[in-house]
Amino acid sequence: VVEVGSLARVEGEGALHIRVSGDTIEDLRLEIYEPPRFFEAFLAGRHFTEVPDIVPRICGICPVAYQMSAIHGLERLFDVHVPEGTHELRRLLYLGEWIESHMLHVHLLAAPDFLGYESAIEMAAHERPALERGLAVKRLGNDLMAAIGGREIHPVSPQVGGFSKAPSSRELEAFLPRLEEAAERVLEVADWVGALPVPKFVRPAELVSMVNPLEYPINEGSIASSTGRSFDAITFEQNVHEVQVPHSNALHARLVDGDSYFVGPLARVNLNAGRLTPLAQEAARRSGLSLPTPDPFASMAARVTETALAVDESIRIVRDYRRPEPPMAKVHPRAGRAAWVTEAPRGILYHRYDVTDDGIIREAKIVPPTSQNLRHMEDDLRLFVPTILDRSDEDLTRLCEMVVRNYDPCISCATHFLTLDLARG
């Protein structure tokens, strides 16, 4: 939507309220709008075959994540055995989304802050070669999504049971030259990110991601934390409690017997450091990512590292690809509970569906990564703001934005951006 004239702020923007007395924070509240809550109601009463078409509409940046959590959960419930090759093709589709989302974040959202530009627009004029390089890698991710998903924004081919249409080997092989080029470019991006002046902010934190003994986790795996916690999707709601907080209509997630936790690329690289491919290890080294680290400001380097991993793995998948034949398995619905997590670009994305025996969704629950990080962002700010209270309001807003931006809160999963409401006493 393009907006004309002066209107009240649109839904989706974030607001940060801080009340300070002397050098003590008396109150700090971060508000973020959450559309997935609406979609939960929208899904109730729908046939399961409609779910893969509805859920990608929740987010324009990470539609595949929503499809993959839903599809895998429903397939597990219905005991579907997908055709050979489906796993790899879905992984490739999802890697495309990681590439697109991570490169967008690094180049247009995070880098202007770290380089001290007022906006991405101002940066574009001064950093054109770096932007061209990063956006070319991003576009490769978008194009992979379009080639496999049938459409870039709301992919149409992924279905419960497989794909309605799978690309040919030739279609995918056409990507090899671009992927090989991207493997070189992404290391240059790592050098660029490694040279940025990045603040340090280390504090104890519980990082949570999927783990998988066979591969860097995306679509399959269990959930683990940096403090040794371990559970799986089917017990997610016993391990993660969503609590209503008085100041926000967004629910705050916290771990049972614990507190706020941190999901996303930084959690993934920490908990899966041993599964980084050689190119990803090289990108980590060059971008200055030294593991383990709970420093949220290392998230940009984690994104570059994962982009390298995604490019590396995409090359392998494309080379070994055999089109699934037939592309879809037969699906017979049954009653029960489908629950699954996958690793969205921003962290674990939980879906749960209670289904009737004729495949109708009775109830849906979606916990996006941004809601899981919300409480952690607030906790970061509570610790960080007292260290920067001597700054001007303008500086303080910028630094708070950088803290929140580390989590890459999603366009429709969360904030558009911060309005700071600071009361100094």
Contact set with other proteins (CB under 8 A): 1-7, 10, 12, 35, 38-39, 41-42, 54, 57, 60-61, 63, 104, 108-109, 119-122, 124-125, 128, 131-132, 135, 138-139, 142, 151-154, 405, 411-412, 415-417
Instruction: Write down the least CB distance from residue 260 to other proteins, Å.
Output: 22
Residues 6+ apart with CB under 8 A from 86: 162, 163, 324
Contacts of 148 (CB under 8 A, 6+ apart): 89, 92, 93, 96, 155, 157, 163, 166, 167, 172
206 phi and psi angles, rounded to 5 deg: -100, 110
65-334-211-346 Cα dihedral, nearest 10 degrees: 20
Select 150 or 258, whichever has its Cβ closest to other proteins.
150
Quick count: other Cβ atoms within 10 Å of Cβ 235?
12
In angstroms, how far is the first alpha carbon of the chain from the final one?
A: 39
Closest separation in Å from C-beta 143 to other proteins: 10
Residue 153 or 329: which CB sits closer to other proteins? 153
Name the minimum Å distance from CB 142 to other proteins.
8
**Residues whose CB falls within 8 Å of the CB of residue 280, separated by 6 or more in sequence, listed in order:** 305, 306, 308, 309, 312
| Sign for the pseudo-dihedral over CA of 357, 361, 367, 369 | positive
Q: Are 406 and 3 in contact (CB under 8 A)?
A: no
- What is the nearest approach in angstroms of other proteins to the Cβ of residue 344? 15
| 23 versus 132: smaller Cβ distance to other proteins | 132
Specify the residue, 5 or 246, whose C-beta has the smaller distance to other proteins.
5
Contact present, 236 and 352 (Cβ < 8 Å): yes
> Nearest distance from residue 269's CB to other proteins, in Å?
23
CB of 75 to other proteins, least distance (A): 24
Which is nearer to other proteins, 5 or 22 (by Cβ)? 5
Q: Which is nearer to other proteins, 128 or 334 (CB)?
A: 128
Q: How far is the CB of 226 from other proteins (least distance, A)?
A: 27
In which region does residue 288 sit, left (phi positive, over 0), alpha (psi from -120 to 50) or beta (all else)? left
Output 68 or 404, the one with its CB closest to other proteins: 404
- Measured from the CB atom, is 124 or 196 closer to other proteins? 124
Spatial contact of 94 and 219, defined as CB atoms under 8 Å apart:
yes
Token digits of residue 22: 């002397």
Q: How far is the CB of 298 from other proteins (least distance, A)?
A: 20
Write down the least CB distance from residue 365 to other proteins, Å: 17
Contact 346, 62 (CB under 8 A): yes
DSSP string, 118-135: SSHHHHHHHSHHHHHHHH
Whichever of 57 and 241 has its CB closer to other proteins, that residue is: 57
- Both structure tokens of 82: 């997908």
Which residues, in sequence order, are CB contacts of 380 under 8 Å at separation 6+? 201, 203, 296, 403, 406
Report the DSSP beta bridge partners of residue 230.
224
Which pair of tokens denotes residue 252? 């705050």
Give the shortest CB-124-to-other proteins separation in angstroms: 4
Closest CB to other proteins among residues 60, 292? 60
Write down the least CB distance from residue 399 to other proteins, Å. 15
Query: How far is it, in rounded angstroms, from Cα 62 to Cα 47?
Result: 23
Please say which residue, 144 or 224, places its beta carbon nearer to other proteins. 144
For residue 121, give both structure tokens.
């627009």
Q: What are phi and psi of 316, to 5 degrees?
A: -60, -45
The closest alpha carbon to 106, from 289, 253, 293, belongs to: 289
